[in-house]
Amino acid sequence: MLEAKNLTKRFGATAALDSINLRVDPGEMYCLLGANGAGKTTLINVFLNFLVPDGGEARINGLDVTRHGIETKRLVAYIPEQVMLYGVLTGLENLSYFAELATGRKSPDDELVALLSDVGLDRTASSRRVSTYSKGMRQKVGIAIAMAKKARALLLDEPTSGLDPKAASEFSDLLRRAREDGVAILTTTHDLFHAKQTGTHIGIMKRGSLVANFSSETLSHTDLEALYLQHMQA
């Protein structure tokens, strides 16, 4: 579903992405670990066609994102570190707006309220202005938007960063459900525990390169931590 082939992106002399190769199939969740500046967000931006690669290809459902930017964006949902919504609108109004943009049709309020309820926002919360929301509540609206869009792939950029443990756990449960529904997920994170718990595959990025790539089942949490530190210190 999501595929990078020899993907390269340079900013001047710096290689933000250096011949990245990875693949995320439906029902898989690929967790990208790495220090700040490793190139994780750049990879997400290339998949979203916000950045044009200097070499290689990023494909979504077999379509090159550079040549089919609009079509590929319609297949994915993007959830950043902090889901950005309009503060003066309610959660329901935000969902209604973004869902209509994503699907091209206006969904009935009842359907949207049910979606918000599914992700853990009750009717009272969904009718409050988003300016009163916690970060976790915003992330839930982000997931609801992805669900309304019926996205076949999710691109997540450190989505649990800054969430309290309960909110992070709830968010992880939502992602697990999405994965079980056949959604392909590519997420960047600093959270090794979260990666091991929810990911099916884990990659480690360093200075634009994918230095490790393995199935999460093949490593224990302790092994993962050791491997990660080994790469970071090398």
Sole binder of another protein in the list 85, 92, 143, 175 (CB under 8 A): 85
Contact pattern from residue 15 through residue 54 relative to another protein, giving x for each residue in contact according to CB under 8 A and a dash for the rest: ------------------------------x--x-xx---
Residues 6 or more apart in contact with residue 49 via CB below 8 angstroms: 65, 66, 69, 72, 73
**Residue 131 Cβ, how far from another protein at the closest point, in Å?**
10
Q: What is the DSSP string of 134-173?
A: -HHHHHHHHHHHHHHHT-SEEEEESTTTT--HHHHHHHHH
Q: Using DSSP, state whether 53 is helix, strand or coil.
A: coil
Told to check if 88 binds another protein by CB under 8 A, we report yes
For residue 223, what are its two tokens? 């092994």
Number of residues that bind another protein (CB under 8 A): 29
Sole binder of another protein in the list 30, 98, 133, 228 (CB under 8 A): 98
**Residue 79 Cβ, how far from another protein at the closest point, in Å?**
9
Q: Using DSSP, state whether 92 is helix, strand or coil.
A: helix
Sole binder of another protein in the list 100, 107, 117, 135 (CB under 8 A): 100
For residue 42, what are its two tokens? 């750049």
Could you tell me the CA-to-CA distances from 7 to 23, 42, 69 in Å, in that order?
A: 12, 11, 16
Could you tell me the CA-to-CA distances from 140 to 34, 95, 160 in Å, in that order?
A: 25, 10, 11
- Residues 132-191 contacting another protein, CB under 8 A: 149, 155
Pick the piece of the chain touching another protein (CB under 8 A) from 97-105, 159-167, 191-199, 221-229. Answer: 97-105
Told to check if 193 binds another protein by CB under 8 A, we report no
Alpha-carbon gap, residue 46 to 65, rounded angstroms: 8
Contact pattern from residue 54 through residue 73 relative to another protein, giving x for each residue in contact according to CB under 8 A and a dash for the rest: ----------------xx-x
Pick the piece of the chain touching another protein (CB under 8 A) from 79-87, 168-176, 199-207, 212-220. Answer: 79-87
Q: What separation, in Å, do the N-terminal and C-terminal C-alpha atoms of the chain show? A: 32
**99/113 with CB nearer another protein:** 99
Q: Using DSSP, state whether 42 is helix, strand or coil.
A: helix
* Footprint on this chain of another protein (rule: CB under 8 A): 45, 48, 50-51, 70-71, 73-74, 76-78, 80, 82-86, 88-89, 93, 97-98, 100-102, 104, 106, 149, 155
